[in-house]
């Protein structure tokens, strides 16, 4: 008999009743150190007091109001994002998938309004992840996501991740509307795109007019030690997708764009019942206030250094279990020699939560404010896991 919850997830036999900072607690009191943070969502830890206060004080006044009316919390958050980034304008969504949907629509409408509707192809990459909607799976293109769901949304051209010669060639086609890429692939296995490649994509977009579209759903919101990951390369996109961390655990996403890239999105071309609601934006404003503070970012980089150094040492001491550490900031991946899922399962037994990713990688995406002592404890627990999995 089919379970009452549609069985699209292989769930671990864990169930939490409370969260406290970087810890999740089961009903029997067992505590787990959470290095997954809801897959990069709980950017400021569980039950963060400042976010709880922002959410509950808003909840006492107004939960939902239609986008038919002015929403001051939404306006404030849009202003903050515009002030802090390349963007001139923001549309709020409830998830990363919805952000990707709008980004695709925005790029196509841009060329339609310029009288070139034939420019509708979006270049995307192997190993990418852009959500599970029809556009999202067509964009990512992997058989794992698309099998059985044909006919797929047309208009995506897939290239090997970071293959600059292939990108250069593909950008010569006259039907290219834009290029969509994660500056650090998350689901694909924590694969950072080299700065030189992001710079090269920017230059090719400038040459051809194609829109540079960055999916920062997982790597954005200070996760890599800059407010947005593309800042490391010193270039900025035309369109950017955001979600996960921006709501700190409350469902919130956004599409940021330049005035030119967004020029096709006039009244009536897009909408959302819940996108930019007062509750989500009250939390988003508080998250932005905290994570965009230069002192906070400096601390993220310091903590990232501590965690990375500890992991590098583990890799060096357990070369039959782990192969290498990769990633940027607090978006780290350990490429494993043993099966990554075995590492994740053994970590559960050690009271440590991690997330598997593609390319046999175990992902570590802790809260950005994880205390130093929790980093040390995580490394101790990881060492136990490695010792256990060491082939004899």
Contact call for residue 187 and ligand PLP (CB under 6 A): yes
Residue closest to 327 by CA, chosen among 351, 367, 347, 357:
357
Residue from 197, 217, 279, 321 touching ligand PLP (CB under 6 A): that is: 217
- Contact region for ligand PLP (CB under 6 A) — 45-53, 212-220, 230-238, 302-310? 212-220
Nearer to ligand PLP, 39 or 65 (CB): 39
Site mask, ligand PLP, residues 100-129, x = CB under 6 A?
x----------------------------x
Site mask, ligand PLP, residues 221-250, x = CB under 6 A?
----------------------x-------
Rounded to whole angstroms, the Cα distance separating 343 from 386 reads 8
Contact call for residue 96 and ligand PLP (CB under 6 A): yes
Residue from 186, 278, 280, 329 touching ligand PLP (CB under 6 A): that is: 186
Six token digits for residue 9 = 């997830």
**Minimum separation from the CB atom of position 353 to ligand PLP (A):** 16
Q: For the chain, what is the largest distance between any 2 Cα atoms, rounded to a whole number of angstroms?
A: 66
- The answer to whether residues 364 and 37 touch, using CB atoms and an 8 Å cutoff, is no
Residue with token string 């920062």: 216
Rounded to whole angstroms, the Cα distance separating 324 from 19 reads 31
Nearer to ligand PLP, 42 or 97 (CB): 97
Site mask, ligand PLP, residues 333-362, x = CB under 6 A?
------------------------------
Provide the H-helix boundaries in 44-161: 49-59, 72-84, 96-113, 134-140, 143-146
Contact call for residue 95 and ligand PLP (CB under 6 A): yes
Residue from 34, 215, 238, 374 touching ligand PLP (CB under 6 A): that is: 215
- Contact region for ligand PLP (CB under 6 A) — 93-101, 203-211, 226-234, 312-320? 93-101
Residue closest to 112 by CA, chosen among 265, 270, 267:
265
User: Which letter does DSSP use for residue 103 in this model?
Assistant: H
Residue with token string 């490649």: 197
Rounded to whole angstroms, the Cα distance separating 92 from 348 reads 35
What is the number of the residue whose Cβ is closest to ligand PLP?
96
**Minimum separation from the CB atom of position 57 to ligand PLP (A):** 25
**Element holding 383 (H helix, E strand):** helix 372-389
Q: Is the CA virtual torsion 258, 259, 265, 267 positive or negative?
A: positive
- Contact region for ligand PLP (CB under 6 A) — 179-187, 223-231, 259-267, 324-332? 179-187
Beta-bridge mates of residue 334? 325, 362
**Minimum separation from the CB atom of position 226 to ligand PLP (A):** 16
User: Which letter does DSSP use for residue 152 in this model?
Assistant: P
**Minimum separation from the CB atom of position 250 to ligand PLP (A):** 12
Query: Is residue 151 reached through a cis peptide bond, with omega within 30 degrees of 0 on the bond before it?
Result: yes
Q: What residues line the site for ligand PLP (CB under 6 A)?
A: 39, 95-97, 100, 129-131, 182, 186-187, 215, 217-218, 243
């Amino acid at each position: 008999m089919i379970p009452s919850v549609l069985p699209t997830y292989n769930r671990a036999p864990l169930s939490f009743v409370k969260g406290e900072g970087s810890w999740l607690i089961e009903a029997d009191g067992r505590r787990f150190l959470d290095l997954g943070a809801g897959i990069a969502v709980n950017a400021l830890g569980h039950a963060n007091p400042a976010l709880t206060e922002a959410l509950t004080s808003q909840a006492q006044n107004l939960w939902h109001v239609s986008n038919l009316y002015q929403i001051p919390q939404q306006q404030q958050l849009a202003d903050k994002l515009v002030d802090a980034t390349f963007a001139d304008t923001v549309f709020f969504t409830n998830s990363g998938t919805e952000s990707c949907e709008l980004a695709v629509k925005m790029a196509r409408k841009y060329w339609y309004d310029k009288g070139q509707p034939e420019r509708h192809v979006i270049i995307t990459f192997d190993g990418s992840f852009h959500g599970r909607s029809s556009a999202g799976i067509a964009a990512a293109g992997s058989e794992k996501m698309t099998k059985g769901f044909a006919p797929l949304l047309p208009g995506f051209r897939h290239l090997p991740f970071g293959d600059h010669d292939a990108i250069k060639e593909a950008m010569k086609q006259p039907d290219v509307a834009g290029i969509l890429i994660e500056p650090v692939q998350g689901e694909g296995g924590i694969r950072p795109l080299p700065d030189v490649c992001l710079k090269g994509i920017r230059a090719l977009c400038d040459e051809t007019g194609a829109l540079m579209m960055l999916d920062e759903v997982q790597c954005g919101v200070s996760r890599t030690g800059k407010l947005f990951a593309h800042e490391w390369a010193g270039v900025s996109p035309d369109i950017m997708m955001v979600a996960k961390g921006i709501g700190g655990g409350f469902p919130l996403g956004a599409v940021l764009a330049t005035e030119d890239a967004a020029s096709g999105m006039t009244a009536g071309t897009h909408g959302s019942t819940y996108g930019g609601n007062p509750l989500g934006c009250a939390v988003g404003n508080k998250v932005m206030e905290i994570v965009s503070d230069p002192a906070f970012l400096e601390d993220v980089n310091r903590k990232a250094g501590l965690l990375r150094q500890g992991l590098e040492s583990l890799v060096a001491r357990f070369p039959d279990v782990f192969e290498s550490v990769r990633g940027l900031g607090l978006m780290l991946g350990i490429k494993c020699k043993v099966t990554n899922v075995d590492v994740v399962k053994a970590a559960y037994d050690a009271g440590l939560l991690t997330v598997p990713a593609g390319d046999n990688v175990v992902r570590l995406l802790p809260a950005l404010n994880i205390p130093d002592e929790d980093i040390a404890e995580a490394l101790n627990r990881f060492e136990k896991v490695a010792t256990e999995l060491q082939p004899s």
